[in-house]
Amino acid sequence: MQKSMLAAAIALAIFGQAAQAVPADQLSPEELASLSWLGPLPDEVDQRAIEAFFDGLNGELPENPEEAVEQFRCRLPAELGPVPMMDAVIRFAQDAEAAREDEVLRRGVFTAAAQGNWMARSLVFELVMRSTKTGPVERRAAQLMAYAQRNKVGSAYVFWATALAAGYGGSARFDHRKGLPVYAALHGSYAAQRGVGESLIATRQSNLMRIGENMVRCAETALPGSKSSTVDAVGPDMKKAAHLATGGFSGTGGDRWT
């Protein structure tokens, strides 16, 4: 499959040009204003930049994910970047799906992101991508995509893995043989670490099981008791939109992605 075709199809899903079968989240004016840390709001979405984003994303993925997991080293949140207001992130992560509907918990995460907390910015990425994207929200979403790639935000790769799996009619499970979830696990996504770790443990191969156990233990240490450590970062609304936008494609081109 040509990657430019895939990029265009996924862009349709992400930016709401595909039919929305399920109502999406709405960003409040305060949440939108808090995204000023991304820089000046552009006048329009650069579609060429979106295609370049997906082309670049494909180029980053490991050729052999099962070998790539050997690179895994557990790094806790404070070892990966700034974590101001971490208590707000932990409160949100205790049950991220329920927290999506809690104005106070959302405000804490958006504020922590504005102060530079890298985990909060990962959560904000997911919240924005799950929102209705028109006007300035659409343009901020495009900026977040660029930010996520520049900074190798692990949860962003979980998001694309789920969306692309839906587009190919597959499942969103964390498979240690797939490039996106493995890449996410190697770049600070504790959800991916738990999921890929469990996939490795299930192989019953001692060397892979050992890596898998380390991944799961790392995720549990980083976010103890968190229901979001295995959260579906995309949800049914994005899966449906991605499926609508990419359902016409076939072939093996998606195997390395998802």
* Domain locations along the chain: 3-8+26-75+82-246
So what's the pLDDT on residue 257?
A: 34
So what's the pLDDT on residue 246?
A: 29
Percent of the chain with pLDDT over 90: 45
By residue count, the chain amounts to: 258
HSE-CB at 113 with a 13 A cutoff on CA atoms is 28
Rounded CA gap, 122 and 83, in Å? 12
So what's the pLDDT on residue 245?
A: 29
Look at residues 3, 13, 123 and name the one whose alpha carbon lies nearest to residue 53.
3
So what's the pLDDT on residue 185?
A: 94
Listed as ranges, residues in the chain with pLDDT below 70 are 1-24, 49, 164-173, 225-258
Q: pLDDT per residue over 164-216, tens digit each?
A: 666 555 555 678 888 889 999 999 999 899 999 999 999 999 999 999 999 99
Cα 244 to Cα 13, 62, 74, distances in angstroms = 8, 28, 37
So what's the pLDDT on residue 228?
A: 47
The answer to whether 250 touches 171, Cβ cutoff 8 Å, is: no
Residues 6+ apart with CB under 8 A from 122: 153, 154, 155, 156, 188, 189
Task: Give CA 91 to chain center in angstroms.
Answer: 19
Rounded CA gap, 86 and 119, in Å? 8
For the entire predicted model, the pTM comes to 0.79
The answer to whether 168 touches 184, Cβ cutoff 8 Å, is: no
Burial 113-127 (b: 16+ CB within 10 A, else e): bbbebbbbbbbbbbb
Q: pLDDT per residue over 97-116, tens digit each?
A: 889 899 999 999 999 999 99
